Amino acid sequence: MSENTSLETAPSQTIGPFFHYALFEEDLSELVAPDRPDAIRVEGKIFDGAGAVVPDAMVEIWQANPAGRYRHPEDDRDEVPLDENFLGFGRVPTDENGGFSFVTVKPGVVPGPDGVSQAPHILVSIFARGVLKRLATRIYFPDEDEANEHDPVLASIEDPEQRSTLVARSEDGAFRFDIRLQGEKETVFFDV
Amino acid sequence: MRHETTLAGYRSSSGDPDSLYPEYKSTRLRAPDRPLTIQPHTLSEITGPAYGHGKIRELDHDLTRQHDGEPLGERIIVTGRVLDGDGRPVRNSLVEVWQANAAGRYVHSGDRHPAPLDPNFTGAGRCLTDDDGRYRFVTVKPGAYPWGNHENAWRPAHIHFSLFGPAFATRLITQMYFPGDPLFEYDPIFQSVRDPRARERLISTFDLETTEPEWALGYNFDIILRGRSSTPFERPHE
């Protein structure tokens, strides 16, 4: 294969409605034990363009540990500690009310482009019937105003209302992050 | 510590459907109205979960041997290589599959198709790719099944595939179809991939080499994930 030849990729297809019995053999809703002192809950609901809940979606998250390190060979910054017990990956189906919930820890600051740090954030993938290609978004944190202000990805979104769809809100001791697939208050989705 | 300056992200995928394909009704209220926000890949997107390692059981790849008896249907072997956009094998990477049984029925409370369940078939499998990027499943050929998208709507026989690849950016869920299916032209999910050449990449090929005499037909299905762009980059810690 010559260096500049790029093979054509396999196109995406919807996850469909019937994935539940295949993809949740392991419980991946708790990325850490709930009794860990720094455990947080991240939860929300998914809504469609008519405001109806989406009860048949799958939500996956990917994040760095509290020190800001990803458990992955590409992140080989040995000076930033890894946590043996933290993979950083979660996966849940939405429930009949369109709800999802993870127990995790708050990720740390991670490097961004051009020497600018990225504010703490969690990457999110949404799969569902009627979603032909994974929808990707990011969860930022409401108690990180200053870091959020300097985050290069947030900064690239000019409209403050759209930008605010990426910031969770504090509610009942949890971080609440609702996702709107379509419409006026539509969540920002990224072309990753 | 110096942070990265320019990072080599992943090249775009090719042939993916748009979010909205009105003929597939469920996209009408679930496709975003606004275009996706373009964002350069950062360390967050070029990393991703190496998920499932060490948790694969011996028979997870053989959907015909997960119960006391054998499932009904046409026994098949589905194999292929997971490659990146440069043709390099994607090794030690989780592949998950799920499918309907030979009668076209899923083990799922939401499946109301009045076709029989098979007590000897669940229809879920997983395995890790080997050093050549190869995966292999033994299963039965799934049946076509009706769905409510439009009058007399039937899904062509298919197997769902879930792949991770090396990064968040390479995550892919897709469907594998069987060659020559007469339902292709009527199926809006298959047709949502508008480029006919891209649709071909969703269709497995019958493979006599993979076929085992007196035992099972073989189908080959290679899966190309996105390749890495060649932009030079500094390691984060240099």
Question: Which residues on B lie below 8 Å from A154 (Cβ)?
Answer: none
What residue ranges do the domains of chain B occupy?
Answer: 25-224
Considering only the beta carbons, identify the residue of A13, A112, A157 that sits closest to B37.
A157
Interface of B with A in 155-194 (CB under 8 A): 160, 162, 166-169, 171-175, 189-190, 192-193
Q: Active site residue: B21, B106, B135, B177, which one?
A: B106
What whole-number percentage of chain B has pLDDT above 70?
92
DSSP letters, chain B, are: -PPPSS---BPPPSSPPPS--TTSGGGTTTS-SSPPEE----HHHH-----STT---TTTTBTTSSSSSPPSS-EEEEEEEEE-TTS-B--S-EEEEEE--TTS--SSTT----S---TT---EEEEE--TTSEEEEEEEPPPPEEETTSTTEEEPPEEEEEE-TTSGGG-EEEEEE-TT-TTGGG-HHHHTS--HHHHHTTB-EE-TTTPBTTTBEEEE--EEPPPBP------TT-
Q: Do B37 and A190 touch (CB under 8 A)?
A: yes
Q: For A1-16, what is each residue's pLDDT tens digit?
A: 444 467 999 999 999 9
- Whether the pLDDT of residue B4 is over 90: the answer is no
3-state secondary structure chain A: CCCCCCCCCCCCCCCCCCCHHHHCCCCECECCCCCCCCEEEEEEEEECCCCCECCCEEEEEECCCCCCCCCCCCCCCCCCCCCCCCCCEEEEECCCCCEEEEEEECCCCEECHHHCEECCEEEEEEEECCCCCCEEEEEECCCCHHHHHCCHHHHCCCCHHHHHCCECEEECCEEECCEECCCCCCCCCEEC
Question: Which residues on B lie below 8 Å from A136 (Cβ)?
Answer: 168
pTM assigned to the model: 0.95
Residue B53 bears catalytic tag: no
What residue ranges do the domains of chain A occupy?
Answer: 28-138+158-180
pLDDT-derived band at B50, boundaries 50, 70, 90: confident
Total count of residues recorded for chain A:
192
- The CATH number corresponding to B25-224 among 2.60.130.10, 2.60.120.590, 3.20.20.140, 3.40.630.30 equals 2.60.130.10
- The C-alpha of B6 sits at a distance from chain A's nearest C-alpha, in angstroms, of 6
CA distance B25 to B34: 18
Instruction: Look over chain B and give the mean of its residue pLDDT values, rounded to a whole number.
Output: 93
Q: For B173-184, what is each residue's pLDDT tens digit?
A: 999 999 999 999
- Whether the pLDDT of residue A168 is over 90: the answer is yes
Q: For B126-149, what is each residue's pLDDT tens digit?
A: 999 999 999 999 999 999 999 999
Closest A-chain CA to B2? A115
Predicted local confidence at residue B5, as pLDDT: 47
pLDDT-derived band at B229, boundaries 50, 70, 90: confident
Burial class (CB in 10 A: 0-12, 13-18, 19+), B50: middle
Instruction: Look over chain A and give the mean of its residue pLDDT values, rounded to a whole number.
Output: 95
- Whether the pLDDT of residue B55 is over 60: the answer is yes
Q: Of the ranges A48-62, A160-174, B1-15, B75-89, which one carries the lowest mean pLDDT score?
A: B1-15
- The CATH number corresponding to A28-138+158-180 among 3.40.640.10, 3.30.2350.10, 1.20.58.340, 2.60.130.10 equals 2.60.130.10
Q: Does A161 touch chain B (CB under 8 A)?
A: no
Q: For A88-110, what is each residue's pLDDT tens digit?
A: 999 999 999 999 999 999 999 99
What whole-number percentage of chain A has pLDDT above 70?
97
Q: Do B3 and A16 touch (CB under 8 A)?
A: no
Residue B106 bears catalytic tag: yes
